[in-house]
Structure formats: structure tokens, C-alpha cells
């Protein structure tokens, strides 16, 4: 078995190889409407030609009132489907499987964004002097929770109608489902908080609702933190138990990642000062789950070299996910399969040794999104671009986009979802 051996998933989907384009937040939605456009088609057509067996989109929000940024794509009951059909056709044009990552940001919403900011409890993101950059959340009511479950199911059904082969439910990186899993954020005393079974209830009910809305052959994956990397947060023991639960819920693949905006482990940093591997950050943690997991596992986070990908596969990981490496070189899987030596190819983002770690992480993400934008326009990566300058320009652009988004949201209120 090697990276280019096909993989049959539990639900019957076959991936042509073991390499996946992991989700990255492109922030390329066209406005007004928060829709995919020709840039997204061009970007995903490049990844399709690049040879990854599985392509997972950047997060698509299930509720137009709740976005991480004004450049985020939305798919809900009121969204026109034709732009998504074109996106799915472009992304699947190379023969790989294409899954839409579906998500709700919960409390990870920037201050000044219109709409709703929800969380399991009214606990704000804590980032020291940068705390004010995120809005204060409102604790969700039972009705809010039920409506959100229904929204996930509607988005999954529409994704299938649009031609995607599956969805990945995002329950990692500090977004809403991850917030419910976290004992630090979820302080509820009702049926949605307290014990791990209760904290995992939103995730399990979302998955059940999604499965009811899609066909049996439509793939359903989950992105889960192997750990939150915060003291007292969701840890590896709890992650192992959640993975066990997912095995009986029709889940085809669990992608392991880690961290949140408060502890950016997916970028190799943690708030609990834990030492991560220089590459494949979560491989050591993943090994704790491999012997007991009843669902195939995908590993992402800092994987950019073929030797690293092969190491993860040899240790029992079913699918190897890459993100930044494919932002810079969308054709990397095809080059590996052709036997090309890519050892000298730059496949990682710059490491910014700024004193302000939070700003350094934000600037690095701006740099990656800049490379995605260039790929979407058919140009080559600009490796020497200044991450600091790109962060400033993106911040200015976001301010203009927020106004456009707010106007559109006022004129196009969110449709009520069916009762879950």
C-alpha cells in the first residue's frame, strides 16, 4: 500500500488515492450573495488537475447570519444552487472526490460583523489585548440549537443536489461544534452540557440529521480536534471517546487536527506550550486513536513532504491531508505520482518570529489566502510577499466587504429552517 492506492470508505465511496486537499478558508466569496464564482472554479479546477484523491472545500457556512469573515461562502435554504453546481463540476473534473466542509462559527466572529454571535455559554474568546477583536457571544437557546441542527442538514442536502460527493462537518478549531465539546466554553447545565455525552450531543444530532437528508452513498466526514491544546479543554481521552461514538453514526472519515483561535495548534503553536512535531503536528496524538478507531482517520497539519506523508500512512493513517503545500503547488500529488523530485520546492508558509503571536498567526493566514487568490487567478505563488503588508491590506478590504455583506443580509434575511 502506498499514497496512490485507492481507499474504499465505509459508506461505499472509493477515493482514488490517499492524498487529500485539506480545507483552507479561501475568503473568496463573491458579493453580494456570499457565493462561489469563477475564481473558485479556477482554483478548484487547478486542484482537480493536481491529482489529490479527495478535495475538501474551505468552510461553507450553514447560516447566512453567522460568518467568520465577509469573504465566507454561505449555502442555506435561500441560496441559488447554480454557482455551487459549477464549483462542484470544476472541483471534480480531475476524477477525485469532492466534499463540502460545512460549518457554523459560533463565537469565532470578528467584532463589527453583522448577524448573530452564538456559543453554548456566554464566554468570550480570550486573547489578551486582542480579545476586543472578537464579538461577545450570546448563549444559545434550545430553539437556536434545534434550528442550527436543521441548518446543517439543509446545507448537506443542497450540497448533494449541487453535485458534491460528500460533506465534512467541521467540529474542530474552536468553531461552534467544537465549542460545545469544550468544557472551557460549554458551561451549560442542561442536556447539551456537562458530561462528554451531553457536550457531544450537538455533533451527534447534526450527523443524524444530515444522514436523514442525504442518500446512503453520499459521504459524511467529520473534522475533529485531537486536542484543543488548552489547559482544562477538550483532550485526547475525550477525543478518543468521540471517535468511538462516530463509528456508529454513518461517518466515513474523521480528520484529526487541533487547536483554535486561542491556541493555534494547526499552525504549530499551542497556548499550553506543548511541544508539537515540526511536521505532521498531530501524528503522535493520532497514534493513540489508530488501534481503537472504528472509522478511517485522516491526518492534516504541517504535512508538505512526500516522506512525511508516507510516514503517516505507514503508521496507520488512512488519508493524508495537505493544505498550505497545495496552496503553493496545487499539482504536487500528480508530481509525486510521476516520480518527480520536489525536495527543493517551497511548500510551507513563512514563520514570523513576531513578539505578538496572535498577529503573527493572522498575518501568516493572510499570506496563505494571498497565494490562494493568485492560484484562483491562474498566476504563480508570490513567496516573497510581505505577510505584514498583506494582513493590513486584507483588513482594509474586509472593512469594505463588511458593509456590502451587512446591506445584503438586511435585504435578504435568513430563511427559517425546517424543524429538525
Q: What is the pLDDT of residues 224-260, one digit of tens each?
A: 998 887 888 899 999 999 999 998 899 999 999 887 7
Give the C-alpha distances (Å, rounded to integers) separating 273 from 262, 264, 265: 12, 11, 10
Taking the C-alpha atoms of residue 244 and residue 254, their distance in angstroms, rounded to an integer, is 11
User: Is residue 158 predicted with pLDDT exceeding 60?
Assistant: yes
- Residue 239: count other Cβ atoms within 10 Å of its Cβ: 24
Cell numbers representing residue 146 in the block: 434545534
> Which of the four pLDDT bands, split at 50, 70 and 90, describes residue 278?
low
User: Is residue 57 predicted with pLDDT exceeding 60?
Assistant: yes
Domain spanning 7-411, CATH architecture: Alpha-Beta Barrel (3.20)
pLDDT at position 273 is: 44
Every domain of the chain and the residues it spans: 7-411
* Mean pLDDT score across all residues of the chain: 92
Q: What percent of the chain has pLDDT over 70?
A: 95
Closest by CA to 34, choosing from 317, 338, 369, 411, is 411
> Which of the four pLDDT bands, split at 50, 70 and 90, describes residue 275?
very low
Q: Which residues, in sequence order, are CB contacts of 37 under 8 Å at separation 6+?
A: 28, 29, 30, 83
pLDDT at position 265 is: 54
Q: Which residues, in sequence order, are CB contacts of 18 under 8 Å at separation 6+?
A: 2, 3, 4, 5, 7, 53, 313, 318, 319, 320
Taking the C-alpha atoms of residue 21 and residue 40, their distance in angstroms, rounded to an integer, is 14
Q: Which residues, in sequence order, are CB contacts of 324 under 8 Å at separation 6+?
A: 24, 304, 347, 348, 349, 368
- Convert the pLDDT of each residue in 349-405 to its tens digit: 888 888 888 888 899 999 999 999 999 999 999 999 999 999 999 999 999 999 999
User: Is residue 126 predicted with pLDDT exceeding 70?
Assistant: yes
Cell numbers representing residue 195 in the block: 458530561
Amino acid at each position: 500500500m502506498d499514497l496512490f492506492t485507492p481507499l474504499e470508505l465505509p459508506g461505499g465511496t472509493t477515493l482514488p488515492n490517499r492524498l487529500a486537499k485539506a480545507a483552507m478558508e479561501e475568503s473568496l466569496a463573491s458579493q453580494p450573495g456570499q457565493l462561489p464564482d469563477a475564481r473558485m472554479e479556477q482554483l478548484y479546477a487547478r486542484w482537480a488537475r493536481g491529482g489529490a484523491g479527495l478535495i475538501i472545500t474551505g468552510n461553507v457556512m450553514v447560516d447566512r447570519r453567522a460568518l467568520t469573515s465577509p469573504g465566507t461562502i454561505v449555502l442555506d435554504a435561500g441560496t441559488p444552487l447554480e454557482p455551487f453546481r459549477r464549483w462542484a463540476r470544476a472541483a471534480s473534473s480531475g476524477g477525485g472526490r469532492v466534499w463540502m466542509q460545512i460549518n457554523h462559527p459560533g463565537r469565532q466572529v470578528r467584532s463589527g460583523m453583522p448577524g448573530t454571535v452564538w456559543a453554548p455559554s456566554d464566554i468570550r474568546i480570550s486573547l489578551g489585548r486582542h480579545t476586543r477583536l472578537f464579538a461577545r457571544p450570546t448563549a444559545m437557546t434550545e430553539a437556536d440549537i434545534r434550528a442550527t441542527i436543521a441548518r446543517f442538514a439543509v446545507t448537506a442536502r443542497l450540497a448533494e443536489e449541487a453535485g458534491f460527493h460528500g460533506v465534512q462537518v467541521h467540529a474542530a478549531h474552536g468553531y461552534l461544534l467544537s465549542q460545545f465539546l469544550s468544557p472551557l466554553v460549554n458551561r451549560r447545565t442542561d442536556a447539551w452540557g456537562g458530561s462528554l455525552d451531553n457536550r457531544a450531543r450537538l455533533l451527534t444530532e447534526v450527523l443524524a440529521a444530515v444522514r436523514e437528508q442525504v442518500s446512503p452513498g453520499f459521504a459524511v466526514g467529520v473534522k475533529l480536534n485531537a486536542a484543543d491544546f488548552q489547559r482544562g479543554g477538550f483532550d485526547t481521552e475525550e477525543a478518543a471517546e468521540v471517535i468511538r461514538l462516530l463509528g456508529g453514526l454513518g461517518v466515513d472519515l474523521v480528520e484529526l487536527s487541533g487547536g483554535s483561535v486561542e491556541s493555534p495548534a494547526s499552525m504549530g503553536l499551542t497556548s499550553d506550550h506543548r511541544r508539537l512535531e515540526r511536521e505532521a503536528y498531530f501524528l503522535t496524538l493520532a497514534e493513540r486513536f489508530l488501534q481503537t478507531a472504528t472509522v478511517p482517520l485522516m491526518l492534516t497539519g504541517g504535512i508538505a513532504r512526500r516522506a512525511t506523508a508516507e510516514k503517516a500512512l505507514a503508521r496507520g493513517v488512512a488519508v493524508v491531508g495537505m493544505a498550505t503545500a497545495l496552496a503553493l503547488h496545487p499539482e504536487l500529488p500528480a508530481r509525486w505520482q510521476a516520480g518527480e523530485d520536489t525536495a527543493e520546492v517551497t511548500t510551507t508558509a513563512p514563520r514570523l518570529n513576531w513578539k505578538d503571536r496572535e498577529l503573527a498567526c493572522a498575518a501568516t493566514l493572510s499570506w496563505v489566502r494571498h497565494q490562494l487568490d493568485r492560484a484562483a487567478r491562474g498566476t504563480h505563488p508570490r513567496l516573497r510577499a510581505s505577510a505584514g503588508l498583506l494582513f493590513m491590506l486584507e483588513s482594509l478590504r474586509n472593512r469594505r466587504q463588511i458593509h456590502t455583506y451587512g446591506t445584503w443580509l438586511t435585504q435578504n434575511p435568513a430563511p427559517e429552517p425546517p424543524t429538525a
